[in-house]
Amino acid sequence: MFVASAFAASAQDAAEATHSETGVASEGAHEAGFPPFDSSTFPSQILWLAITFGLFYLFLKRVVLPRIGGILEVRRDRIAQDLDQAARMKEEADQAVAAYEQELADARKKANVIGQEARDAAKVEADAERQQIEKDLDAKLAKAEERIASIKETAMKDVGAIAEDTAASIVQELVGGRLDTTAAKAAVKAVKQ
Amino acid sequence: MANDPIHQFQISKWIPIEVGGLDFSFTNSSAFMVATVVAAGAFLFLTTSSRGLVPGRLQSISEMSYEFVASMLRDSAGSHGMRFFPFVFSIFMFVLMANLLGLFPYFFTVTSHIIVTFALALLVIGTVVVYGFLKHGFGFLKLFVPQGVPAVVVPLVVLIEIVSFLSRPVSLSVRLFANMLAGHITLKVFAGFVTSLSAFGVAGAAGAVLPLIMTVAITGLEFLVAFMQAYVFAVLTCMYLNDAVHPGH
């Protein structure tokens, strides 16, 4: 402000000097001095400021600001919408993953069941076969035992006769006499018992 | 007159108009007010005409200035203050564009005249006072009585508050006016050194390099000042409007 007033003073001096020298007394005479402080220009400046600024204000308020505000709002909405959509898609993807895993688990369970069934069936079959074989073996064993018993019986029967013969022969050899067959039979019977 | 740093502030009549003894001529100042309004309005209008969802560079500038002023106003005056958004945005864009246009050589700087800045400041304060009384009635006067002040010093504080309120339009207008004026005078003085020194032959031309560098540097500084002053004017407008919206501090 000091600078301004100093300039104002010097400019006024200069202007006055110019005017007095040249004697020019046109309308420039009362615009002498520092231009910003020349009150004769104030009405014009205020009027034109009011006109231009007023129109500017109306133009911005009616046209420009709603438009920029609209652009920004549309963008904000669009971004929110896109975010929503992204969230929705993520949810769908999550659901797909969950469904996939569920199916996988089901399939695994099914495979286990099938395996188990196959195993059980095989076991049942093997059991049946084994039982059949065991039954066959038992039958064979019984038959064999039967045969052994009959063989043994005949053998035992033969043993008695052989022993009587042997005993008679031995007695004959040792004693030199003849052994009564009934006595030998009785003796063998006594020994066998 | 070419070297006179004051000459750039001279107002010249282009179309003389006189009504009732008052001079309402269309002057170079009026022409640059029109240019300011047309340039700012056309820029904002044309860059946003495509309404791009993904903004281009120029559309980004318009959107950024919108959001810049909007957040400035919301921060200082709250959401109730947003009703003044068109007003604050107009003031910011007008002052900014006037300051920037004034930086072109041979262009007239609208905001370098105290009457223009004072009229804008009065418009702001007038809006504050009128809206304050309309909205809060006499409750608006609570603005001058801060809460939590001991009763003894209340008269003194009220006096200070009133003085500070009355000095607001003065400080608001003089700040912008003086910055523009001083900046342009400084530029002109340094630029004047360049021409007057180079009149002294080779040595003078060599010596003129220094003021030339200064002129370039100050031009850069003036761009900063042009933006800063528009910003400061708008911020203070927001804070004064906050008083109208919430007078109880």
Per the CB < 8 Å rule, is A57 touching B27?
Answer: no
Residue predicted with more confidence, A166 or B221: B221
Residue B115's pLDDT band, with cuts at 50, 70 and 90, is: very high
CA distance B172 to chain A (A): 14
Mutate to test the interface with B, among A12, A30, A59, A75 (most CBs of B within 10 A): A59
Highest mean pLDDT among A167-181, B115-129, B200-214: B115-129
Per the CB < 8 Å rule, is B89 touching A65?
Answer: yes
Q: Within an 8 Å CB–CB cutoff, is residue A82 touching chain B?
A: no
Number of domains in chain B: 1
Cα B62 versus chain centre, distance: 19
SS3 string, B156-205, reads HHHHHHHHHHHHHHHHHHHHHHHHHHHHHHHHHHHHHHHHHHHCCHHHHH
Q: Within an 8 Å CB–CB cutoff, is residue A40 touching chain B?
A: yes
Is residue B196 a part of any domain in this protein? yes
The answer to whether the CB of A29 falls within 8 A of the CB of B13 is: no
* Overall average pLDDT of the A85-101 stretch: 96
Highest mean pLDDT among A145-149, A160-164, A172-176, B2-6: A145-149
DSSP state string for chain B: -TT-TTGGG---EEE--EETTEE--EEHHHHHHHHHHHHHHHHHHHHTTT--SS--HHHHHHHHHHHHHHHHHHHHHTGGGGGGHHHHHHHHHHHHHHHHHHTSTT---GGGSHHHHHHHHHHHHHHHHHHHHHHHGGGGGGGGS-TT--GGGHHHHHHHHHHHHHHHHHHHHHHHHHHHHHHHHHHHHHHHHHHHHHTTHHHHHHHTHHHHHHHHHHHHHHHHHHHHHHHHHHHHHHHHHHHHH-TT-
Q: Within an 8 Å CB–CB cutoff, is residue A15 touching chain B?
A: no
Per the CB < 8 Å rule, is B48 touching A64?
Answer: yes
Enumerate residues 6+ apart whose C-beta is below 8 A from B194.
B208, B211, B212, B215
Is residue B2 a part of any domain in this protein? no
What 8-state DSSP symbol labels residue A34? -
Is 60 exceeded by the pLDDT of residue A32?
A: no
Is residue B184 a part of any domain in this protein? yes
Mutate to test the interface with B, among A68, A77, A79, A82 (most CBs of B within 10 A): A68
Is residue B62 a part of any domain in this protein? yes
For residue B197, give its domain range: 7-245
Residue numbers in B near A61 (CB within 8 A): 86, 90
CA distance A47 to chain B (A): 7
Residue A3's pLDDT band, with cuts at 50, 70 and 90, is: very low
Q: Within an 8 Å CB–CB cutoff, is residue A116 touching chain B?
A: no
CB-nearest to B27 from A36, A41, A70 is A41
CA distance B141 to chain A (A): 29
Specify the 3-state DSSP secondary structure of A176.
Answer: coil
Count the neighbouring beta carbons within 10 Å of the beta carbon of residue B28.
15
Instruction: Kindly report, residue by residue over B13-29, the tens digit of the pLDDT.
Output: 888 888 888 888 899 99
Per the CB < 8 Å rule, is A68 touching B66?
Answer: yes
Is 90 exceeded by the pLDDT of residue A140?
A: yes
CB-nearest to B22 from A43, A49, A71 is A43
Please state, in angstroms and as integers, the Cα–Cα distance from residue B120 to each residue in A49, A98, B94, following that order.
Answer: 9, 66, 10
* Overall average pLDDT of the B153-163 stretch: 90
Is residue B87 a part of any domain in this protein? yes
Instruction: Kindly report, residue by residue over B47-92, the tens digit of the pLDDT.
Output: 998 888 888 899 999 999 999 999 999 999 888 889 999 999 999 9
Is residue B1 a part of any domain in this protein? no
The answer to whether the CB of B36 falls within 8 A of the CB of B97 is: yes
Mutate to test the interface with A, among B13, B23, B34 (most CBs of A within 10 A): B23
**pLDDT score, position B5:** 78
* Overall average pLDDT of the A143-167 stretch: 86
Residue A27's pLDDT band, with cuts at 50, 70 and 90, is: very low
Instruction: Kindly report, residue by residue over A159-179, the tens digit of the pLDDT.
Output: 878 877 887 788 777 877 666
d(CA A50, CA B123): 10
What 8-state DSSP symbol labels residue A61? I
Q: Within an 8 Å CB–CB cutoff, is residue A37 touching chain B?
A: yes
ipTM of the complex: 0.89
Residue in chain A nearest B63 by alpha carbon: A68
CA distance B122 to chain A (A): 11
Per the CB < 8 Å rule, is A60 touching B115?
Answer: no
Residue numbers in B near A57 (CB within 8 A): 86-87, 90
Burial category of B180 from C-beta neighbours within 10 Å (exposed 0-12, middle 13-18, buried 19 and up): buried
Q: Within an 8 Å CB–CB cutoff, is residue A48 touching chain B?
A: yes
List, as ranges, residues 35-64 from B with C-beta within 8 Å of A.
36-37, 40-41, 44-45, 48, 51-53, 55, 59, 62-63
Residue in chain B nearest A41 by alpha carbon: B23
Mean pLDDT, chain A, rounded, equals 82
